Amino acid sequence: MADLDALHLKGLTANREVLLALCLRLEEVADVLSSPTVGEGDFAQMALDLKPHLEKTQSLEESLLFPEFDRHAGSCFGAMLVEQLKAEHRYDRLAAEELSQTLQALAEGRSRLALATIMAMMRGFAENLRRHVHSEDVLIETLLAARAEGREIFA
């Protein structure tokens, strides 16, 4: 288990920025899904990128942040918070798997879903993941402030 230092925080931030860029790309493609400018390669690439980026980022969060939350929580609330974040990560992974399969099917021309449904999936996933990332950003800032001040997070 690594400590959350500047180097680890920089890596975590870079991974989270990749996820946010992927969210933006999902929304951009959803906006023009039926346009001839969007090709099967776009869908296939997003299907390939989504899960590995999400899993890498979540793995970093779980190894770096979750132990820090436990150490600095000062109450059982920290354990509850970590369990909630783990549940959100599981949900994100399941949703990413579903979206990846849908995008791959679309790339291969075998999707049976209506384009409106796929667009809603893409936008919904992107919005949910973006909110998750931003809410964790607030937690990271709170953690860093608590560590710098030598106090518990939820004091």
Q: State the DSSP code for 109.
A: T
Q: Which residues of 23-51 are buried (b: 16+ CB within 10 A; e: fewer)?
A: bebbbebbeebeeeebeeebbeebbebbe
Per the CB < 8 A criterion, the answer to whether 50 and 99 are in contact is yes
Question: How confident is the model over 49-67, as pLDDT tens digits?
Answer: 999 999 999 999 999 888 8
Question: How confident is the model over 87-97, as pLDDT tens digits?
Answer: 999 999 999 99
User: Which pLDDT band, with edges at 50, 70 and 90, does 147 fall under?
Assistant: confident
Q: What whole-number distance in Å separates Cα of residue 121 and Cα of residue 105?
A: 14
User: 6-149 belongs to which CATH class?
Assistant: mainly alpha
